[in-house]
């Protein structure tokens, strides 16, 4: 099974290849990311941590939700590689996994804002 993203494309050049050449493995992974992003709570959570990393308790307070519910959403986002965390003592600090997440959020916001 081809895992480079596009059939015959190397990992560093796949972004310039036509989307029509998207292989089954990669299209499924992309669909999974969009499924995860299809939840308003997770969108709000991601938007919160674009500025800086936050603790679960801070996210819960900001979203007026329980820490258990926030932890669940963070687990879903972690599994999709959209957020990462680091431990400091007993506390976990969450941040976006990389700049691609910010780009996804900004592109989506631009799309819904112009039409």
**Running along the chain, 115 residues long, what does each successive block of 10 average in pLDDT?**
38 61 91 95 96 95 97 97 95 94 93 88
Residue 25 within a domain: no
Question: Measuring CA to CA, how many Å separate 52 from each of 16, 17, 47?
Answer: 31, 33, 10
So what's the pLDDT on residue 16?
67
- The Cα–Cα gap between 52 and 25 comes to 32
Contacts of 106 (CB under 8 A, 6+ apart): none
CATH number at 75 reads 1.10.10.10
Residue 28 lies in a domain: no
Domain ranges, residue 76: 40-113
Give a yes or no: residue 50 inside a domain: yes
Residue 88 inside a domain? The answer is: yes
Task: Judge whether 33 lies within some domain.
Answer: no
The confidence score (pLDDT) of residue 108 equals 92
For residue 109, is it within any domain? Answer: yes
Domain count of the fold of the chain: 1
Helix ranges (H only) for the chain are 24-37, 40-48, 56-63, 67-79, 99-113
Q: What is the pTM (predicted TM-score) of this model?
A: 0.80
């Amino acid at each position: 099974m081809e895992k480079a993203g596009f059939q015959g494309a190397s990992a560093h050049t796949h972004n310039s290849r036509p989307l029509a050449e998207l292989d089954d493995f990669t299209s499924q992974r992309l669909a999974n990311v969009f499924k995860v992003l299809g939840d308003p709570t997770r969108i709000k959570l991601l938007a919160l941590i674009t500025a800086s990393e936050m603790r679960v308790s801070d996210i819960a307070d900001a979203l007026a939700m329980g820490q258990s519910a926030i932890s669940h959403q963070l687990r879903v986002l972690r599994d999709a590689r959209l957020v990462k965390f680091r431990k400091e003592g007993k506390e976990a600090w969450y941040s976006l996994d990389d700049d691609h997440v910010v780009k996804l959020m900004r592109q989506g916001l631009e799309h819904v804002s112009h039409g």
